[in-house]
Copies of this chain bind each other. A is one copy, B any other.
Amino acid sequence: MDNENRVIILTSNEDLINQLSANKIPDTHTINFNYLDNLSQLNSKIDKFNDRICVICRNVAIGYNYDVLTCASCRIFFYRNQNQRNKLKCLLRQGQCSIDYKHDRKCPRCRLDRCFQVGMRKDLRINHQQKRHISSKSVSQPTHTTDNHFPLKLVDFVLSK
């Protein structure tokens, strides 16, 4: 799953619904609102859509760590550095570095900032399982980077069912 663009389509158009029902379209998940019980279930679908990708670096995620879906290395990175921000220096001095697992070295300052941006918290964690998925903020990579991949994440979604 390396497509550039990802969209959520909410529709009541019969033709489109029939088209989606008739054919299995790659990289596409459809959700019938009538069978949707709760937000957790919807986010579960979105997780599959995301292929469980780390929100920080796009590596394969191992699960929710400090409230955010991340890989193992970003998890331990946040654990180690959450209180060390002042010690970390931006490699570019611009605070605009993109963080990507494909590049072996990463800017620790911008990596930690991204952790906070997407909502990783040690002390202010939300305890309820179901609220966990909501806590992640939708944050895009800095605009200067060309490959602007990041997992879709539902934020404060209100079911209008």
Contact = CB atoms under 8 A, between A and B. Distances in A.
A91 B107 CA distance: 8
Interface in A77-129: 89, 91-93, 97, 103-105, 107-108
A105 B97 CA distance: 14
A108 B91 CA distance: 12
A91 B96 CA distance: 12
Nearest to A100: B93
A108 B108 CA distance: 16
A93 B103 CA distance: 9
Interface of A: 89, 91-93, 97, 103-105, 107-108
15 contacts: A89-B103, A89-B104, A89-B105, A91-B91, A91-B92, A91-B97, A91-B103, A91-B105, A91-B107, A92-B92, A92-B97, A93-B103, A105-B105, A105-B107, A105-B108
